[in-house]
Structure 1
Amino acid sequence: MKNRTLILLILLFLCGNVFSQNKLNHKKQHTMKLNAGIVTDKIAESKAFYTKILNFGITFENEFYLLLHTPDKSSEISFLLPNHPSQQSFFHKPFLGQGMYLTIEVDNVDEIYERIKKQNISIKIEIRNEPWGDRHFAIEDPNGVGIDIVTYAPQDEK
């Protein structure tokens, strides 16, 4: 009985030591959040587009800056007036309307597509299924940013 107790105590000690080492070796994960920003003169147009067409909410706004959030508040996008004296010169140049896109993942792309079509928004890529599993369509915001609205689906097994 003494041997069993001793073995049990040794095992408990070793297991406890392993767990405490795992805690020491585990690095703390730091939170990182992405907020895409567009430097543009079209802040009012951007606000109308994202709030009325895509149902974004307003997180913050003032005379030179607008911060919007997705309906579930998981993501944000901001708009900043070019050449604003409150900003460093690095953030003065306006976006030129090319070479940028955003993907918005939704639960039901067909529902969003029908709602947007009823608002007479120009559809840049009609709704379609892709071989890799996406079902999506694309529109364009007032700044020339392509907006890909997508529902991901697993690829068919072949």
Structure 2
Amino acid sequence: MKLNAGIITNKLAETKEFYTKWLGFGVKFENDFYLLMHTPDEQSDIAFLLPDHPSQQPLFQKPFQGIGVFFTIETEDVDKIYDDLKKRGVKIVIELRDEPWGDRHFAIQDPNGVGIDIVRYTSPED
């Protein structure tokens, strides 16, 4: 079983630019109402769909309201990604920090309001 999450949004162009430019995602498929992107290692996908498209059933027509969703991107070198994004002018919503439970992470936000937690997992300190 494989999970593929999706966001219903009017911001397909902005979303595509954000994920390709800042996070190195690729486009797996796109048309005028649907965008399927993959992580740089091509191991995970995320989909974006225009709201109210006549090809879609009512369940898949209402747009995302910009709150209550986050993605986590796990990486071995969170410091490098943080430094790179900061130098390139990406707005950092949560600055790089170490948590008592072991995460070293920071967060940014996509054009749809989705929080993106970029993290390196480690064991909690005793």
Query: Please, what TM-score do these two structures have when normalized by structure 2?
Result: 0.98
Larger helix share, 1 or 2: 1
Identity %: 64
Larger strand share, 1 or 2: 2
- Pair 1:57 & 2:16 matched: no
Look up the match of 2:80.
111
Pairing of 1:87-106 with structure 2 (within 5 A): 87-106=56-75
How many residues align? The count is 126
Structure 2 gap segments, 5+ residues each? none
Give deviations 1:41-92, integer Å, cap 9, x for gaps: 0000000000110000111000000000001111110100000001101100
Deviation at 1:35, TM superposition (A): 0.8
CA distance in structure 2 between the partners assigned to 1:35 and 1:49 by the alignment: 19
Structure 1 gap segments, 5+ residues each? 1-31
Larger radius of gyration between Structure 1 and Structure 2 = 1
Pairing of 1:1-158 with structure 2 (within 5 A): 32-156=1-125, 158=126
CA distance in structure 1 between the partners assigned to 2:16 and 2:109 by the alignment: 14
User: Quick one: which amino acid aligns to residue 153 of structure 1?
Assistant: T
Deviation at 1:154, TM superposition (A): 1.4
Query: Please, what TM-score do these two structures have when normalized by structure 1?
Result: 0.78
Task: Give the ranges of 4+ consecutive aligned residues of structure 1 lying more than 6 Å apart after TM superposition.
Answer: none
Which structure would you say has the larger RCO, counting Cα contacts within 8 Å and 6 or more residues apart? 2
Q: Which SS does the other structure have where 2:83 is aligned?
A: helix
